[in-house]
Amino acid sequence: MSKPIVAIVGRPNVGKSTLFNKLIGERRSIVEDTPGVTRDRIYAEAEWCEHRFILVDTGGIEPKSDDTILKQMRNQAEIAIASADVIVFMCDIRAGLLADDRDIAIMLKKSGKPIVVAVNKIDRVGDLPFEFYEFYELGFDREPIALSSLHGSGTGDLLDAIVEECRFDENEEDEEGVINVAVIGKPNAGKSSIINRMCGEERVIVSDIAGTTRDAVDTRVENRYGAYNFIDTAGIRRHSKVEDRIEKFSVLRANMAVERADVCLLMIDAQDGVTEQDEKIAGIAHEAGKAVIIVINKWDTVEKDNTTVNTFNKEIRTALSYMPYAPIIYVSALTGQRCAHIYELINSVYEQSHKRVTTGMLNDLLADATIRVQPPSDKGKRLKIYYMTQTSVAPPTFVVFCNSEELFHFSYRRYLENCLRDTFGFSGTPIRMVVRQKGDETTGM
């Protein structure tokens, strides 16, 4: 039995994201006074009284709005409600009980799920304001809970209520073997579309409006290939175009998503080719030491002949010369062309990034490499490499002990890296090489 899912729903700007961040203990959802900031479902694990559950933050529900984005936000919230085991219905004491609250309450009652009403923004200590008792009119079985998501008061009562309504498998073991996959790329490259295609349902809002996805969205998938957690990141714009605070938060979220990931899918629009922006985004994943797959999307829109793929490959390898290790796959999120193969690549590069090589095998390789290409020398002094050992994975990191760091030129490091790849693979993952001069401090690349 998987962990129970608890969805937080309500009108826009009632404090859902603030509560979500408070309950999970970190700033995961964007919090801003602008209604509609949280557009997609945000997932995170929460714990209370040794019970764990999946908490879902949703976009605000506007029951009667015709706005395209607001309608899709409502659809996302409805999907969250359908998949939830328990629903936290948030209301705002300052706004009072509104007609929209009543409409949402009717929708929630039809779901047949356990509902916990949380009346937010009761920030003053003391007797409850008279307006609080209006929310009893919503007619749910449980009494409303007074809450301040900003200060945290009432959250203990709320968590107690959530745990009472959830059904837990006491023998449940911690999730293992789940691969975290960050989907990164410039706006409108098809990041949300590829996740929806691979999940087989509309888990993420898709729109032609660039920048629709603002948060980093977690989507859990289990299939015959394995278990995955897809993190759909907001499109990373050029810094010169990062104007408002919400957009700045989104860039930060994308960087944080890369840090959380085991594997990054770098989405590139086939119609645009590799742009300067793509190069910078790829650099974020490379510098973080993450395994990377280059996904060329919208391949169905490109006119092709016998040389098209080779031409694209050369362009990509030239523009992204610092990551020759990353495999390239050509897909169409619209038609589903080759999308299933992405799972196989994810598994492969994840395995490669976690590969370990014994010290004995490394030193056999080192002996052979130094015989084939002599280490560099300067002014009669030659570089001597004593031995090499692997110290960590993800990315694979190797420490090389030598007599002189100065003589260990970049070109010879690259040569040894190529020898490692030729012998052991490491496809899809960067390699870190640390040089340690005998008796001196560590320096790395």
Taking Cα atoms as reference points, which of 433, 230, 258, 242 lies closest to residue 342? 230
53: pLDDT strictly greater than 50: yes
**pTM for the complete prediction?**
0.61
Cα–Cα distance, 9 to 87 (Å, whole number): 7
Indicate if the pLDDT at residue 232 is higher than 50. yes
In the block, tokens 């996959």 appear at 181
Render pLDDT for 345-369 as a digit per residue (tens, 0 to 9): 999 999 999 999 999 999 999 999 9
Q: Count of CB atoms within 10 A of residue 157's CB?
A: 14
Looking at residue 64, its pLDDT comes to 63
Q: 299, 332 in Cβ contact below 8 A?
A: yes
> What would the DSSP string read from start to end of 162-227?
HHHHS---TTPPPP-SEEEEEEE-STTSSHHHHHHHHHTS--S---SSTT---SPEEEEEEETTEE
CA 215 to each of CA 180, 286, 369: distance values in angstroms, whole numbers, following the listed order: 16, 22, 47
Pairing label, strands 377-378, 263-269:
unpaired
Fold classification of 178-353 (topology level): Rossmann fold (3.40.50)
Provide the CATH topology of domain 359-444.
Answer: GMP Synthetase; Chain A, domain 3 (3.30.300)
Determine the Cα–Cα distance for residues 415 and 356; give it in Å rounded to an integer: 20
Taking a C-beta distance cutoff of 8 angstroms, is the pair 152, 124 a contact?
no
Element (DSSP H or E) covering residue 318: helix 308-319
Q: Which of 199, 208, 205, 254 is nearest to 231 (CA)?
A: 254
Mean pLDDT value across the chain: 82
Tens-place pLDDT, residues 128-139? 888 999 999 999
CA distance 181 to 169: 27
- How large is the angle between the packed helices 99-111 and 68-83, nearest 10 degrees? 40
Two domains, one topology: 5-165 and 359-444:
no
Where do the structural domains in the chain lie, given as residue ranges? 5-165, 178-353, 359-444
- Decide if pLDDT at 410 tops 60: yes
| Average pLDDT score over residue span 267-291 | 91
What is the per-residue pLDDT across 75-119, written as a single tens digit (0 to 9) for each?
666 776 777 889 999 999 999 999 989 988 988 898 889 999 999
Measured distance CA(91)–CA(105) in Å, rounded: 10
* Residues in Cβ contact with 13 at an 8 Å cutoff, skipping those fewer than 6 apart: 33, 34, 35, 60, 92
Domain range 5-165, CATH class: alpha beta
Looking at residue 248, its amino acid is K
Closest by CA to 54, choosing from 76, 24, 27, is: 24
pLDDT mean over 370-391: 91
